Structure 1
Amino acid sequence: MGSNRSETPTGGRGTPPRPRGAVVSGYVFRLIREQLGHTQDTLAEQFRVSADTIAGWETGRRPRTAVPVGQVLVHRHRLLRLGADPALLLALERAMEADVLLSSALDDAPPLADDPMGAWVMQRHLVEVLAWPLCGVTPTPLRERFTAPRARRGPVPTAPELPQEDRRRFFARTRRTAEQARGREHFLLRRQALYLSGYDDATDTTEWLAHQQRSMRPDDWLTRWLADRSVAAVAARQGDRDRMEHFITSTLAEDDAGEAANLNYWAYWIAESPHVELSDAFIAGRLGPWPGDRLMHHLVRGLTPHHGFFDLNVHTLWALLSARASLIRPKSSTVRALRDQLPVLLDGPELSGRARRELEGIRYAIRLAEA
């Protein structure tokens, strides 16, 4: 089953292609300039460049991905001295990485072995920035810190803008990559291409993903586990909570290996595990050396009953606290927030029997720690 999407590179006959080398990083750079209270002219003075250069960085005419690495570091230090918010500077670094991935998908597709989408196991902070121009959802760190839009003249975009034709082209490429990336050597590339394809709001996305998932034939425990998780995660994003419940019951809870793999994956996904991984192999085996505080904080904040990943968050939190009971520290702000949430969550009629039992177990563990 192939994709029926167009891959026309421009918006129409005779229309030059829009700049796409700095879609995300240009937008974030503008946010930094505005956070500093500078105009393009005044920031140009600070950087000793022309105002047209600043404008080019922001629009993508002069993508920052083309600036030498040493100069990028100089710019970063200068922005720090000017008072730039560290969260925005970190977002700028991730945005440049996301722009490379976007450009790779929108330009000539590389051979599967060279596709950057399969070069390393992506983490949440990069995936959220990469998906920003595709779905318009602000990455979590920026959504929490920068909620009020700044006053500007005329209408302004509220997210990095990617032309509709480029969005279609991006998803056509991720679909083609997923369809072509067969075999164990390309499993990571296929898995991540499928995950990104799940952000597509086209009417045939659910059907196409279901077909791709049925065609997966993993031949070892780890790839089978990851394939099952990918199926459940994409289904949850599409609003199907039954598939996630089946994954938890039949794959996670069946043995210690599945539980450890889930915790290792989550710790890496939210960047509590400090090392970048080039393959999924790190997931298998015993729990990694990560402490768990950040993961616990992330899971507690994600306990939203109507969210597609609610059941997985509950189970993962229960498994984390079962494996590392030392995280239940009564004076911890995360533990206090969890304790206050539990009565409300347990009163919810939409809880599954398993989620209710796990939340009750967590409440009991907190009470024991506070006794």
Structure 2
Amino acid sequence: MVPARPPSALTAGQGTAPRPRGGIVSGYVFRVLREQLGLTQDSLAEEFRVSADTIAGWESGRRALTAVPVGQMLVYRHRLMRLGSAPALLLSLERAMEADVLLASALDEDDPGGDSPLGAWVMQRHLVEVLAWPLNGVAPAPVNALPTPPRPRRGPVPDGPELPATDRRRFFSRMRRTAEQARGRDEFLLRRQALYLSGYDDEADTADWLAHQQRTERPDDWLTAWLNSRSVAAVAARQGDRDRMEHFIGSTLTGDDAGEAANLNYWAYWIGEAPHIQLSDDFIGAPVPGPWSGDRLMEHLVRGLTPRHGFFDLNTHTLWTLLAARPNLLRGGTQAGRALRDRLPVLLDDRELSARARRELDGIRYAIRLSEA
């Protein structure tokens, strides 16, 4: 048995100083918004009719943007629109505020459990990327693709939102405890998402702890077993272990129509193809893929065709099944279709491709030829 990490003095409740609810993620995105507009803190303060210290407090997380009344936050958002802020960045600010609420819940709650917001809805990639940003240092796509700000920064500035080491340990300790205590069908989503976030922990025992947690769960239905298998494979792939992902594809997806449909349903929702959020995982078990177009999913999967990446085999297999289910995606000369056609020769020249990936890429190339005939 792999024991949970013992609580530190901060997590034990002894001598713990009051902890303000932070706003490190939204504060950092807010600063990026200001910098992209080419404004100083003083000039933005004038636009917002607040003090420059207020702007500085928001940007540092010392004053949480999540504490600003909703109506006033909408006023600020409208002013940022009028100033010319990129819509994608404004959406990132909303997601960052939600991420700060989730972080604060994990850091501040004495006993996270069934009331944790982590179990309220099935999270999607755009939120998880922002939530994971202070944990793994990887900026979400809308921020990562930004040009250099028009005004040079003064002095050393962090590359992203910084979570103090004590808070980082506290967060992962809480995720482990939440996963260990969440039991039963009613708390399965909470447990699954806590396990997923625990996978961002870079401690040496993380992989073993996650594997132990998956073994202690005795699924009583097909979908729960499928999701457990996928979670183990996904966390292992994120940590560079491709064998478990290969096993998942071969044993749980290939040749199983229900498993293949679940994989497409999961991916489509994850990258935002679905028209609304889901409150449980049940939609994943639908016997046929949902009424989504697949364009966004195809674009995402094509970008993910990087042979040395842990998710390469899953991306390849998912793209192969997606094009079989949605052959129209190859018609019309889309940008993703052209990129896929151009990359296939290079991918197929890689001698380290698995036999399955090579067969599937060959199948995709043949499908492209048919669509162009």
TM range (shorter): over 0.9
Per the alignment, residue 302 of structure 1 pairs with 304
Deviations 1:307-338 (A, max 9, x none): 00000000000000001111111521111110
The one-letter code of the counterpart of 2:317 is H
Among candidates 331, 341, 366, match of residue 333 of structure 2 = 331
Which shifted more, 290-299 or 153-162?
A: 153-162
Q: What is the Cα deviation at residue 157 of structure 1?
A: 0.5
The one-letter code of the counterpart of 1:123 is Q
Query: Would you say 1:190 and 2:191 are equivalent positions?
Result: yes
SS in 2 for 1:112: coil
The one-letter code of the counterpart of 1:345 is L
CA distance in 2, matches of 1:5, 1:24: 27
Per the alignment, residue 90 of structure 1 pairs with 91
RMSD: 1.8
Query: Would you say 1:151 and 2:133 are equivalent positions?
Result: no
- The aligned length equals 369
| Contact kept? 1:133, 1:161, Cα under 8 Å | yes
Give the 3 Å change call, closer, same or farther, for CA 148–227 of structure 1 in structure 2: farther
Per the alignment, residue 170 of structure 1 pairs with 171
Per the alignment, residue 28 of structure 2 pairs with 27
Q: What is the Cα deviation at residue 147 of structure 1?
A: 6.5
Per the alignment, residue 248 of structure 2 pairs with 247
Per the alignment, residue 40 of structure 2 pairs with 39
Which shifted more, 315-324 or 49-58?
A: 49-58
Per the alignment, residue 232 of structure 1 pairs with 233
Per the alignment, residue 75 of structure 1 pairs with 76
Deviations 1:182-208 (A, max 9, x none): 111111111110110000011111111
The one-letter code of the counterpart of 1:343 is P
CA distance in 1, matches of 2:307, 2:40: 43
CA distance in 1, matches of 2:67, 2:36: 24
CA distance in 2, matches of 1:308, 1:149: 37
| Contact kept? 2:264, 2:289, Cα under 8 Å | yes
Give the 3 Å change call, closer, same or farther, for CA 278–147 of structure 1 in structure 2: farther
CA distance in 1, matches of 2:140, 2:322: 25
Identity %: 74
CA distance in 1, matches of 2:122, 2:278: 6
CA distance in 2, matches of 1:192, 1:246: 22
Query: Would you say 1:357 and 2:340 are equivalent positions?
Result: no
Q: What is the Cα deviation at residue 20 of structure 1?
A: 4.6
| Contact kept? 2:113, 2:182, Cα under 8 Å | yes
Per the alignment, residue 315 of structure 1 pairs with 317
CA distance in 2, matches of 1:197, 1:147: 33
SS in 1 for 2:296: helix
CA distance in 1, matches of 2:76, 2:6: 40
Give the 3 Å change call, closer, same or farther, for CA 345–148 of structure 1 in structure 2: farther
CA distance in 1, matches of 2:135, 2:314: 25
Per the alignment, residue 370 of structure 1 pairs with 372
The one-letter code of the counterpart of 2:76 is H
Q: What is the Cα deviation at residue 18 of structure 1?
A: 6.9
| Contact kept? 1:104, 1:110, Cα under 8 Å | no
Give the 3 Å change call, closer, same or farther, for CA 272–150 of structure 1 in structure 2: farther
The one-letter code of the counterpart of 2:293 is P
Give the 3 Å change call, closer, same or farther, for CA 307–81 of structure 1 in structure 2: same
| Contact kept? 2:57, 2:63, Cα under 8 Å | yes
SS in 2 for 1:62: coil
| Contact kept? 2:305, 2:316, Cα under 8 Å | yes
SS in 2 for 1:97: helix
CA distance in 2, matches of 1:296, 1:268: 13
Runs (5+) with no aligned partner, structure 2 = none
Q: What is the Cα deviation at residue 284 of structure 1?
A: 1.0
The one-letter code of the counterpart of 2:115 is D
| Contact kept? 2:114, 2:182, Cα under 8 Å | no
| Contact kept? 2:121, 2:278, Cα under 8 Å | yes
CA distance in 1, matches of 2:235, 2:198: 9
Runs of 4+ in 1 over 4 A off after TM superposition: 13-20, 146-150
TM-score (norm 2): 0.95
Which shifted more, 207-216 or 298-307?
A: 207-216
CA distance in 2, matches of 1:153, 1:295: 40
Query: Would you say 1:282 and 2:279 are equivalent positions?
Result: no
Per the alignment, residue 10 of structure 2 pairs with 9
SS in 1 for 2:29: helix
Give the 3 Å change call, closer, same or farther, for CA 7–88 of structure 1 in structure 2: farther
CA distance in 1, matches of 2:180, 2:31: 37
| Contact kept? 1:5, 1:169, Cα under 8 Å | no
Q: What is the Cα deviation at residue 149 of structure 1?
A: 10
CA distance in 2, matches of 1:144, 1:321: 28
Per the alignment, residue 340 of structure 1 pairs with 342
